[in-house]
A and B are shown apart, each in its own frame.
Chain A
Amino acid sequence: MVKTLNRFKTYIKKPENIILITLIIVLTYLVIVPLISIIHDTFVVHTSERMRIRGKQVGEFTLYHWRNIFFGKYSDHIFYKPLYNTLLVSIGVSIIALALGGLIAWLVTRTDLKYKRWISTLIIFPYVMPSWTLAMAWLDFFKNSQIGGVKGLFTALTGITTPNWFAYGLFPIVVVLGLHYTPFAFILIGGTLKNMDANLEEAALILKASRFRILRKITIPIVMPAMLSTLLLVFSSGISAFAVPAFLGSPVRFQVLTTQLFRTLNGVNPGYGYLIGLVMIALGTGILTINQILIGKRKSFTTVTGKASNVSLVSLKRLRGPISFTILIFLILISIFPLFIFAIQSFLVEPGNYSITNLSTIFWIGEGRPDIANGEPGILKNKYIYHALWNSFRLSILVSIIVGILGVLIGYAVVKKRGTPLANMLDRLSFFPYLIPAMAFSATYLSLFAVRRGIIPPLYGTFILLVIIGSVKYLPFASRAGITSILQIGKEIEEAAVIFGVPWYKRMSRIIIPIQKPGFLSGFLLPFISSMRELSLYILLVTPSTQVLTTMLFQYNEKGWDQYANAIVLLIVLVVLFSNIVVNRVTGASIDRGIGG
């Protein structure tokens, strides 16, 4: 008895144990309990469903939602068709991203392509920018007047009316999302190619294998795990994409699971929404779990040594110039050109009229005219915009600080207690939100925090709830960054200070954090950028007083106030790009001295 007590006393004295236990309890409530809550909500009658589900009281058990989603008369319409569309989109997106990203990665790492530095910089743009920027640009450029709007820039310039399938729905969604995730494939595959031991390819070259044969028999099989991983990650991102399908699909009523989830949860049938959310969670976790398993298995035989290599480059010969130039122009088109479109659109008084006389700064600094957009003032004079901007900043900063600190603590505790069941549990718990599609995750929060639960008041509609969900959703980035950073340090560095009796807070602040500053900083800054451009995570949970810039943009777009929407997009993109430059400066500049002793 005394022994157990003693053991408990020594256990609780260690900061890593306190961190482990506290965070496991908190994260269980914020990650696992919402899942249980959403499952529960698929089986009960909700307030707005009283009239539909006859003979049942609110809160009573019902199989109505399950029956109607999977086996009902309208199942095709409300569930199977959107599911089919979702899968179609995800497959298309994966193919485009993988083919394009892989091709450019190979060209950059293995051939004598020109403008390599420009290309590797520009290609990251579409990924840094929010996914819906390209969607907005597409609409601005290619929209037609058939749906009942005005014609886009393309029609105005060429006189050709774009067909509906080209302007809206599946095709542009796949193209836009595909382009958005191309950089992702480029980074993953390019990284593997770059770190691949050149000897592997050279050995084959010496054996007189042809270039094509080397590519097919050596290079591709070796980067296969990276490609597979990319495929699955892009696929699951495709499933959770909301903004792009919402912008490009809604004019032709092209529904995917996320848009359907948004419609039903905001409509009269929340039960459907919760169930769709559950299906998405199952899909997302399933796919990414497969990925984790594959990564774990494949690691053992990939011969990616990280040795810097000087592969003899494939000569593109006469095609060198044209290929390099085409890629460069293409990248400029998808990365810089959209910004000009937004800028132009935001200065047009009458949408669709592209003459010089139609230009005005009214949507930026105008006071608002009753004949335009119900007298909404220009975005630089608009208190709602400032309010949303302030909310966005406040939210993203809070989220990044919380996530950054948690990342360090989790990294510390997990590494310190590595291999113990509690450490594994915290590791998985902190990673789990990554597997859940953003909108489905916010549906679980809607379900859990709509009413009072024990001592926790109903948080729906509060700013705090946005902070909480943002922090939990972006935790995986920071906890990964934290774990790798602390792993790199090695426990002796800290123990050397323990021997001198340096207290815990001082070990963290004077030794561990200074050594891995860049790693931890990226744990702060990545969540900030992600949160600044996040739409699908917040849209279900915002109320007029907690609007952020992105949700504001979504509303303006739905109302058809294109100029405002374009101006806001420009604003967000600039903030995001600027933060990204800061990230690169900060993380790149401080690795200069002292690390690696």
Chain B
Amino acid sequence: MPDIVLKNITKRFGNTIAVKDLNLKIEDKDFVVLLGPSGCGKTTTLRMIAGLETPTEGEIYIGNRIVFSSQRGIDISPDKRDIGFLFQNYALWPHMTVYQNIAFGLENLKWKREEIKKRVQELAYLLKIEGLLDRYPSELSGGQQQRVAIARTLAPKPKVLLMDEPLSNLDAKLRTEMRSELKRLHKEIDSTFIYVTHDQLEAMTLATKISLMNEGILQQFSPPLEIYDKPVNLFVADFIGNPTMNFINVKLNGVKAGRYILIHNEVEILFQPSVYKDLDIGEDFVLGIRPEDIEIGKDRGLQGIVYSVLPSGMETVIRVKIGELFLTLITFGRTAFSPDEVCYLNFPTDKYILFDKREGNNITLGNIISIEKR
């Protein structure tokens, strides 16, 4: 039922624009992640959906109900929006026990005492905190506090669950664990989740759709793998993926049989676009290559010198120097290469992306037919 629609949402703080003309349609039962670097407006967007922040302009619908409109002067208060909000630092009330923390909101919503008790028990079971109900938040570990916060948020059975970087205060191991629990929870409670994070790995693994923002402007709103494979611009390409995509500044030197001849210093690349477009000869472009789309070998290919080797057991990140150009690549498992060794690179996939340098937009995907020194 509750599709969430943001129409032309703009938020200004004084002279700075936090969110600019944002349009977003979130479907029922989606797990949408608002992703972006700090200060990109993702948290502000979440808070505006919750009603904790008032947009300067625009309209917000939750379900079929309009909850905010600057034009019509509508501003429904947070408690009437049927949402739950999970805060980054949990915001547990330190002077109340776990039970009181979960029950306080329900008391305020005029639930009956027995119902409250039943609901708290239910949530305690769901989140495995049955033994902690009489404790104070300061007596809990970070992970336990997190569970209590989730229980408190879920207590009134919100249709939409808004989460503001809920895992960022946990250590790495616990974070992975909670991540899978959140995904499970999403399946179990049948609500729409909107989740804010700056961690692209979290976004990739959790989301059904990612909304990537930068400086208050929506960059791309797509499923995770689509955002990974087909980033709409340089910013998205750069932000998603670790290690980051390699970017090679190139100049279009000519076109031959529907293929672009791209030049970077002494390197010449023959690029086969998946969709041919007329481009101006002599114009600057950027060629984006994901590290896993480069193969390293001992013979045949573009010659380079190994600059550094970073093994992490499961995979190895290698940095290779080709003249003035550095390329990062990743191989599965261990590698036989060591620094200062000569190596050869190959580019076997069709996922290389040509960006327009000035605007940063994705022009086309394609494959590299040949790459060699002139």
Contacts and interface: CB of A to CB of B under 8 A. Distances in A.
Interface string A1-27: 011011101100000000000000000
Nearest to B50: A499
Contacts of B85: 495-496, 499
A212 interface: no
Contacts of A7: 70
B108 A502 contact: yes
Contact of B73 (A5, A498, A502): A5
Given A6-B70, A9-B73, A495-B52, A501 B109 contact: yes
Of listed A495, A506, A595, A596, residue having the most chain B CB within 10 A = A495
Interface in A403-444: 419-420
A553 B108 CA distance: 54
Nearest to A510: B104
Contact of B145 (A420, A499, A515, A597): A597
Contacts of A2: 71, 73
B87 A495 contact: yes
Interface stretch (B75-83, B122-130, B227-235, B361-369): B75-83
B79 A501 contact: yes
A500 B71 contact: no
Interface string A508-541: 0011001100000000000000000000000000
A490 interface: yes
B87 A496 contact: yes
A511 B96 CA distance: 9
Given A495-B87, A500-B79, A597-B138, A10 B108 contact: no
Interface string A66-91: 00000000000000000000000000
Nearest to A492: B91
Contacts of A283: none
A516 B268 CA distance: 67
Nearest to A498: B78
Contacts of B109: 500-501
B261 to A, nearest CB: 54
A593 interface: yes
Nearest to B92: A597
A499 B73 contact: no
Q: Name the 8 nearest CB pairs between A and B, nearest first.
A: A501-B79, A597-B137, A500-B105, A6-B73, A492-B91, A597-B94, A492-B87, A496-B91
B93 to A, nearest CB: 6
28 contacts: A2-B71, A6-B73, A490-B91, A492-B87, A492-B91, A495-B52, A496-B87, A496-B92, A496-B152, A497-B108, A498-B52, A499-B79, A499-B84, A499-B105, A499-B153, A501-B77, A501-B79, A501-B80, A501-B108, A502-B104, A502-B108, A506-B108, A515-B93, A593-B138, A594-B94, A594-B95, A595-B138, A596-B138
Contacts of A282: none
Given A500-B108, A510-B104, A594-B137, 5 more contacts: A493-B93, A497-B93, A514-B95, A596-B138, A597-B93
Contacts of A496: 85, 87, 91-93, 152
A498 B162 CA distance: 14
A515 B50 contact: no
Given A3-B71, A6-B70, A593-B138, A498 B95 contact: no
Contacts of B88: 492
B89 interface: yes
A10 B93 contact: no
A284 B109 CA distance: 53
Interface in A5-58: 5-7, 9-10
Given A490-B89, A499-B84, A597-B145, A10 B75 contact: yes
B136 interface: yes
A241 B89 CA distance: 47
Interface in B284-327: none
B14 interface: yes
A1 to B, nearest CB: 12
A565 B103 CA distance: 59
A501 B84 CA distance: 11
B54 interface: yes
B156 interface: yes
A595 to B, nearest CB: 5
Nearest to B54: A10
A514 B100 CA distance: 14
A172 to B, nearest CB: 50
Contacts, number: 97
Contacts of A9: 73
Contacts of B84: 499
A493 B96 CA distance: 12
If over half of A's interface residues share one DSSP class (helix, strand or loop), that class is named, otherwise mixed; here it is helix
Contacts of A597: 90, 92-94, 136-138, 140, 145
Nearest to A511: B93
Contacts of A5: 73
Contacts of A493: 91, 93
Contact of A420 (B14, B70, B108, B137): B14
A523 to B, nearest CB: 18
Nearest to B74: A6
B27 to A, nearest CB: 23
A597 B96 CA distance: 10
A510 B95 CA distance: 10
A146 to B, nearest CB: 63
A500 B75 CA distance: 16
Interface in A291-307: none
Contacts of B96: 594
Nearest to A517: B95
Interface in A451-502: 490, 492-493, 495-502
Given A9-B73, A495-B91, A501-B77, A594 B138 contact: yes
A597 B70 CA distance: 37
B336 to A, nearest CB: 45
Nearest to A506: B108
A597 B106 CA distance: 21
Contacts of A515: 93-95
Contacts of A501: 77-80, 108-109
B236 to A, nearest CB: 30
A594 B70 contact: no
A594 B97 CA distance: 9
A7 B12 CA distance: 13
B12 to A, nearest CB: 12
A499 B83 contact: yes
A9 B156 CA distance: 29
A388 to B, nearest CB: 41
A495 B140 CA distance: 22
Nearest to B69: A6
Contacts of A514: 95
A499 B91 CA distance: 12
Contact of B104 (A10, A490, A500, A594): A500
Nearest to A3: B70
B308 to A, nearest CB: 33
A250 B71 CA distance: 71
A594 B145 CA distance: 13
A501 B108 CA distance: 7
A371 to B, nearest CB: 63
A597 B14 CA distance: 33
Of listed B77, B93, B96, B137, residue having the most chain A CB within 10 A = B93
Contacts of A10: 54, 73, 75
A514 B95 CA distance: 7
Contacts of A594: 94-96, 136-138
Contacts of A595: 94-95, 138
Contacts of A495: 52, 85, 87, 91
Contacts of B78: 498-499, 501
B89 to A, nearest CB: 6
A500 B138 CA distance: 23
Nearest to B164: A492
A10 B251 CA distance: 54
A496 B14 CA distance: 25
Interface string B144-188: 010000001100100000000000000000000000000000000
